[in-house]
Amino acid sequence: MCGIAGIVAPEGSRADRDILEAMARAQAHRGPDGQGLFLEGRAGLAHRRLAIIDLATGDQPMTTACGRATIVFNGEIYNHLELRARLEARGRRFATRSDTEAILQAWMEYGPACVEHLRGMFAFAVWDRDARTLFAARDRLGKKPFHYALADGAFLFASEIGALTLHPGVSREPDLEALGLYLSLQYVPDPRTALRAVRTLPPAHTLLWRGGAPRVARYWSLEFAPKRRAPEQELLEELRGLAEEATRIRLMSEVPLGAHLSGGIDSSIVTALMARAMSGPVKTFSIGFEEEAFSELPKARAVARRWGTEHREFTVRYGHVPAVLDEIVAHAGQPFADPSALPMWFLARETRAHVTVALNGDGGDELFAGYQRYWLDPLAALWSALPAALTQRLTPWLARRLPQPGDVPIERDRVAALKRLAQVAALSPKASIVRWGSYFTPQDAARLWRPGLAPHADPVALLARRFDNARAVTFLDRTLAADLSCYLPGCLLVKADRMAMAHGLEGRSPLLDQELAQWAARLPDGLRMRGRTGKWLLRRAFADLLPPEVTAQGKQGFGVPVGRWFREGLAGWSRELLLGGRAVARYLRPEAVRTLLDEHARGRADHGKRLWALAALELWLSRHASV
């Protein structure tokens, strides 16, 4: 894990060393173990290193012996030894043991097709001196970030948005269309960012720049067909073998490693597989809250006892929010509204005090259908067929009159479920996550904006396109494909990367291994979901490794008690921030924001997540944008 940056100046110019060094320093948290620079005429590459593999000779930027190609790389390539052997058999010679050189030599051998040979997480850029081109690529599911911009004829790239804005030619003007999407999705989907001048390279894409506009192309897609037809027991054994291998290869490290253990099924499986593969006890780390309804610490402890791990815990309190939300926004480089970034920030900090690498359970819900909405979607179709007088007038009228204290996680909040029914009936079933999970529906968001400023970007249409374009067969397949292409890389993996790298911690996700992901995509619906039970085959495959209270539980997201916090300890802070801030002064209707604050304070509605999203927007506008 590292931070990368680069500048390719226009023909006849030289890369600016001072700006390049500043871009690298801005990402020092991503690579605290060293910095490297490459400057050759118009090209400049920078690297901040977090040393994990080949501690002695893996420094970057790395240049081929002939001097033609230079690379900067962020991530880990788990098949680099096998790849190296194949390349050596074709005559390539290596000077190090690093996975970085495996990519570089693969580029020399295969060109842009080198990405087809990589198994792992990666974002990298290669400057080809002879061809005078920059080639960049991002891993298949979007674990590692890559942002870029064009400024004064130069091409710039970096792991984090904030590094790009250090170039004087990169405008900090907000992209209102992106902010409109943010209010409904809670994140800004690729290829947009919250800045008009900056773009994100989507997962599973390459980029080639020779001047002018970069050429971006997809190199991989998840295939959901043909479906697997083997007997269930045979598939169960295949799943166990794939998950065991995906975990084993992620234990490759020359520095201490551990596991993030939430108490949910996915992280518990990863912890169990680590315990079976390692010679010593696994170091596990968990986070919880004083509000017991939101805390899964008892389940995490049960898993830790089952496998004899060295277990540590940390408790998050509302008083942590003001300073840390500012940090979260700064590291994301744009507004980011998932409140679980807060406990993730603290979990990463506590973990980094003991290990440098932590495995996690990310991806299980999106690949194996773990969210409640996956089994609710078919029922929603029946509900939506009822008369609009019931679904969109009477039901919302009744729901608005019910108090909503927000003192339980969303999965157990029946009032919240009732209030969702109107938007479920009103929105396209192709946009599952907006129907069930959006803080602001497109209509709600439109009412927030000052007259004439409401953006036109449509989050429902965006998700519907991802749904329609999926290489999938069933409705569930297409919904999973939309989540894997939008929600996973835009929200979950941004949170995982930025919060971990804020503390120089490398996160690894065995369940998002590309071989396991492709295998899981072709499972029949009935092996993912049975009735109201998601992750059916995954639960069965690992039931013998987990405590019963873990395998029997339903899905509980990484909930944060923001409803209570904004009604009690953070009430004054949030009112002062939102009503006195730049977002309201420039873009939002003060009366609409005040209504949210007042309704929440009186317990008429739980606007906790909406207020969190607006607070993140305000902090970003006031600190990182030109308003």
* pLDDT-based confidence at residue 557 (cuts at 50, 70, 90): low
Name the residue with higher pLDDT: 559 or 587.
587
Question: What count of residues does the chain have?
Answer: 627
Encode 324-389 in three state secondary structure: HHHHHHHHHCCCCCCCCHHHHHHHHHHHHCCCCEEECCCCHHHHHCCCHHHHHHHHHHHHHCCCHH
Q: Let me know if residue 467 belongs to a domain.
A: no
- Does the structure show a pLDDT above 90 at 281? yes
Tokens matching residue 455: 């953006």
Rg of the chain over CA atoms, in angstroms?
24
Q: H or E segment at 611? A: helix 608-624
Q: What confidence category does residue 385 fall into, taking pLDDT thresholds of 50, 70 and 90?
A: confident
Decide if 59 is inside a domain. Answer: yes
Closest CA to 340 of 258, 243, 264: 264
Contact 41, 17 (CB under 8 A): no
60 secondary structure, DSSP code: S
Binding site residues for ATP, as ranges?
287
Choice among 2, 114, 486, 491 that is catalytic: 2
In a domain, residue 250? The reply is yes
Stronger pLDDT, 516 or 397, i.e. the higher one: 516
* Residue 390 main-chain phi, psi, to 5 deg: -85, -50
Based on the fold, state whether residues 130 and 249 are members of the same structural domain. no
Q: Tell me what the pLDDT averaged over the chain comes to.
A: 92
Q: What is the DSSP letter of 482?
A: H
> 123, 238, 146, 149: which is closest to 527 by C-alpha?
238
Instruction: Report the 10 Å Cβ neighbour count for 91.
Output: 7
In the beta sheet, which residues pair with residue 46? Answer: 5, 37
262, 186: one domain: no
Q: Partners of 35 in the beta sheet? A: 48
322-335 average pLDDT score? 92
39 forms beta bridges with 44
CATH of the domain at 35: 3.60.20.10
Terminal Cα distance for the chain, rounded: 34
Annotated binding site: 99, 287
Contacts of 372 (CB under 8 A, 6+ apart): 411, 436, 532, 534, 554, 555
What phi, psi does 552 have (nearest 5°)?
-85, -15
**Nearest of 609, 178, 183, 143 to residue 434 by alpha carbon:** 183
The amino acid at 95:
A
User: Using CA atoms, how far apart are residues 126 and 135, in angstroms rounded to an integer?
Assistant: 5
pLDDT of residue 16: 96
Closest by CA position to 555, among listed 420, 432, 376? 376
Q: Are residues 204 and 267 in the same domain?
A: no
28 within a domain of the structure (yes/no): yes
pLDDT band at 558 (very low <50, low <70, confident <90, very high): low
In whole angstroms, give the CA distance from residue 285 to residue 350: 8
Are both 198 and 61 inside the same structural domain? yes
Report the binding-site residues for L-glutamine.
99
Same domain, 191 and 338: no
Instruction: Give me the phi and psi of 105, to 5 degrees please.
Output: -70, -35
| DSSP conformational letter for 28 | G
Last residue of a domain, one of 528, 551, 574: 551
Whole-angstrom distance, CA of residue 462 vs CA of residue 173: 23
* CA–CA distance, 82 with 403 (Å, rounded to integer): 60
Contact by Cβ (8 Å): 159, 127: no
Amino acid at 445: A
Predicted confidence (pLDDT) at residue 503 exceeds the cutoff of 60? yes
Going by their DSSP bridges, the two strands 283-289 and 310-316 should be labelled as parallel
Instruction: Give yes or no: residues 86 and 208 share one domain.
Output: yes
Confirm whether 2 is a catalytic residue.
Answer: yes
Rounded to an integer, what distance in angstroms lies between the CA atom of residue 330 and that of residue 64? 35
User: Which of 551, 579, 602 is a domain's end point?
Assistant: 551
- DSSP state letters, 187-255: SPPTT--SBTTEEEPPTTEEEEESSSSPEEEE-------SPP-S-HHHHHHHHHHHHHHHHHHTT--SS
Residue 208 sits in the same domain as residue 277: no
Q: What angle do CA 76, 160, 516 make, to 5 degrees?
A: 35
Are the CB atoms for 257 and 505 separated by under 8 Å? no
Spatial distance between the Cα atoms of 500 and 219, rounded to a whole number of angstroms: 28
Q: How confident is the model at residue 408 (pLDDT cuts 50, 70, 90)?
A: low
- For residue 201, being part of any structural domain is answered with yes
Tell me the average pLDDT across 377-390.
85
Cα–Cα distance measured from residue 172 to residue 627, given in angstroms and rounded to the nearest whole number: 8
Residues 93 and 203 in one domain: yes
What CATH number should be reported for the domain holding residue 290?
A: 3.40.50.620
The alpha carbon of residue 500 and the mean position of all alpha carbons in its chain are separated, in whole angstroms, by 11
Cα–Cα distance, 575 to 594 (Å, whole number): 8
Residues 63 and 199 in one domain: yes
Contacts of 205 (CB under 8 A, 6+ apart): 137, 138, 216, 217, 218, 219
Q: CA angle at residue 487 from 24 to 622, to 5 degrees? A: 50
Q: Are 343 and 517 in contact (CB under 8 A)?
A: no
Compute the distance between CA of residue 266 and CA of residue 269 in angstroms, rounded to an integer: 5
In a shared domain, residues 183 and 269: no
Q: Which range has the top average pLDDT, 130-144, 430-444, 579-593?
A: 130-144
Q: Which residues contact 532 (CB under 8 A, 6 or more apart)?
A: 372, 375, 554
pLDDT at site 415: 66
Can you give the pLDDT at residue 411? 61
pLDDT tens digits for 261-279?
Answer: 999 999 999 999 999 999 9
Task: Assess if residue 617 is contained within a domain.
Answer: no
Residue 178 counted as domain residue? yes
Contact between residue 486 and residue 463 where contact means Cβ atoms under 8 Å apart: yes
Residue 154 and residue 280 in one domain: no
Which of 192, 218, 244 terminates a domain? The answer is: 218
Sole residue written with tokens 């989050």:
459
What are 67-96's pLDDT values in tens digits? 999 999 999 999 999 999 999 999 999 999
The strand pairing partners of 157, in sequence order, are 6, 148
The alpha-helical segments, DSSP class H, found in 483-602 are 493-501, 514-521, 525-528, 536-542, 548-551, 562-567, 571-579, 582-586, 590-602
What is the share, in percent, of the chain residues with pLDDT greater than 70?
95
Evaluate whether residue 598 is within a structural domain. no
Please give the residue range of the domain that contains residue 60: 2-218
The residues that bridge with 128 in the sheet, in sequence order, are 69, 133
* For range 243-259, the mean pLDDT: 93
Does 412 have pLDDT greater than 80?
Answer: no
Give the model's pLDDT for residue 397: 75
Count of C-beta atoms within a 10 Å radius of residue 273 = 26
- The closest of 548, 569, 500 to 291, measured between CA atoms, is 569
For range 162-175, the mean pLDDT: 97
Minimum mean pLDDT range among 58-67, 93-102, 194-203, 419-428: 419-428
- Token duo for residue 273: 């597989």
Q: In whole angstroms, how far apart are CA 318 and each of 90, 331, 562, 576?
A: 58, 20, 8, 16
Q: Are residues 299 and 165 both part of a single domain? A: no
User: Considering its fold, how many domains does the chain have in total?
Assistant: 2
pLDDT at 279: 92
Place of tokens 């996956």: 374
Q: Cβ(87)–Cβ(109) under 8 Å? A: yes
